[in-house]
Amino acid sequence: MGIRENISRLKASLPKGVALVAVSKFHPSAAIMEAYEAGQRIFGESRVQELKAKQQQLPADVEWHFIGTLQRNKVKDIAPYIHTIHSVDSLKLLQEIEKQAAAHRRVINVLLEIHIAREDTKQGLTPAGCRELLADIRPEDYPHIQFSGLMCMATDTDDTALIRREFQALRRLFDELKSTFFPNNASFKELSMGMSHDWLIAVEEGSTMIRIGTGIFGVREY
């Protein structure tokens, strides 16, 4: 199947309320444009330099999401246009996003990245660390940040039962944090979980946002 067919197939399979983030990292702007012409508007990138170049080349109504590890000194480069940052994992990064968003008079959506996978190479806050971070701040002190939910990457494994347990754990944490810290914040509603190999399980376990790269664009070009 081509990019257009993959987009159509995925969108037809998703329940109402589940957003599709097309992970376009390492793919050329021409491929992104093909997905755009098929109706896709949300794209995910993980390298600031690559994102900057593509943002300048592609239509203004693209909704850019940053899904990779974000260095604090790079926030200023994407603050003018980034819609959502999926990978917030520290207080210092939150503070920098607030600073740069304020400088551009924008509000940036953020997802707190949670480390639930068994691989040590995966990034993110531990559940306990996330609770501590939220207990130590007041969201009203971050008027240029919209706390929108949580993100995770499951263990890269064929063990679907393990993947399901990890997604269930993130959903439980989300419910806990929602009731404890964001009971009156309707914007804290997103669970970004599920990729090309496990998105069906993620959706079954409550994902509201799946991140698909290979399933749309094929094998990445390096």
Instruction: Please state whether 52 falls in left (phi above 0), alpha (psi between -120 and 50) or beta.
Output: alpha
Q: Is the Cα torsion angle 8, 10, 13, 14 positive or negative in sign? A: negative
Does 151 reside within a domain? yes
168 touches 205 (CB < 8 A): yes
Which pLDDT does position 38 carry in this prediction?
95
209 touches 175 (CB < 8 A): no
Does 222 reside within a domain? no
pLDDT tens per residue across span 82-99: 999 999 999 999 999 999
Does 42 reside within a domain? yes
Angle between helices 160-181 and 127-136 (to 10 degrees): 20
Q: In this structure, what token pair is assigned to residue 158?
A: 């064929």
Q: What residue ranges of the chain have pLDDT lower than 70?
A: 220-222
Q: In this structure, what token pair is assigned to residue 91?
A: 């207080």
Does 139 reside within a domain? yes
Which pLDDT does position 121 carry in this prediction?
72
Q: Which amino acid is at 14?
A: L
In the chain, the number of structural domains is 1
Which pLDDT does position 220 carry in this prediction?
65
CA 210, CA 192: separation in Å to the nearest integer? 6
Which pLDDT does position 221 carry in this prediction?
52
Give me the domain span that covers residue 46: 3-217
Which pLDDT does position 139 carry in this prediction?
87
CA 142, CA 85: separation in Å to the nearest integer? 15
Does 130 reside within a domain? yes
Q: What CATH number is associated with residue 73?
A: 3.20.20.10
CA 204, CA 174: separation in Å to the nearest integer? 15
